[in-house]
Structure 1
């Protein structure tokens, strides 16, 4: 049984399809099929149940998947620990889209200046995908907003940031010196779609104040939320880190009076994986970097 066979097997299991797995692995489908067939011959039973356009794991395949992940994890961690010199190596960082473009650039720049031999790999994705990647060891650190629904990850809070009301400049509320949450209760909202936790933060805050924001439009990009607000499609709440770099004069930002909506930014990692000196140094950099 070869390591490449295990990697190929895990990719097919992940994708549920030989063609897509072969594309991901940059090998031909016949070569991938031969590798899996050889693996099954060695085990004496099939690891996949073949269907017309997909495959699913057999009982043997389910057991092999868990063991193969353990084997590859042990080997990767062993190599990382042996070669850990505190200066070279890689750090794989994941961040949600409402954090990555606003908070990470300064962090990456400062870390690269201090550790020029290090390789930084950045992945931007939604919370669910990053938690899965962090749990499986595909990334070393995930920068997320609380709550983080993963009991096997270590979580450290970094900072809290305010969520600002964003309005078109000609909106009646833009002239008010004091804006209460009740002022926006009857207004239409533009929100990110359900895959993004920022919408959960906004809706949860509003529900705690006994009202449900009415979403008239949803999008997958925070920048599009801002543009739709500029076009008077509705109002929204935007994190401070995005507000602070927004130079557009077609929208204005206002704080709420009383208890202000906010979110907590945190870093998560898998404590069962080897934590190199570079990974620990990157966490230190996250702690030192001020909120944008």
Structure 2
């Protein structure tokens, strides 16, 4: 099996993103449902949802805890925001899985996990959704990742329509191994999970490794330390969801998202300084970078 291919602008120009015609409506550009946030971390849903729109998705729905839904709706006026019943710990109740699957099947991509903090409730909600969701691509991030080892069969049934975006610690929890073991050979670890679970894996780090279910691999190592900041992973997951909703294949969407996220950080490092820029500032950089890579018209 070949080693990983480096992600560059030239590589991306050879795999251009789907481009809508000038006459399409917002639905034709793809719709995203973001299931995210908690009473403690409501902003993760804002970052992830806005990132999906910045990546070019046409419609956005956000499902979050009922007590923060109104505030989130005001903060993201472009989105339909659904308030869901809460657990005592301020998370989304697992019983919401059926409703979310029903809404999810009317979308092109579903993102699950950013900012969700009630571990037991997240695991139960994730289990319910992975077992029942049919149709859209599914992007899984953050706390929703750690229960996936019990869901191999339904994930494999999705036949590559799942994308996960763990860092080394989350990957270690998923596999119940030490973080040192993940960091010792991140490519092999990502390849193992991608092939065993039939999904696309983006294992984040100083060098991010992406592997598809067939074991094909890519890497991006041109980011900077400023990206290691609160909310950065939420923005990456949102960009992945937005691109796959537009019609990009799961691996293609993930490769593009990792590059766009890294290059946005590089631009901010030049204009703001190498550290201290915010995850929310990455969002406005995404459309311009995409435009520079788009085929000439």
Length-normalised TM-score, structure 2: 0.21
- Larger Rg computed on CA atoms: 1
TM-score, normalised via structure 1 length = 0.22
Q: Which one has the bigger helix percentage?
A: 2
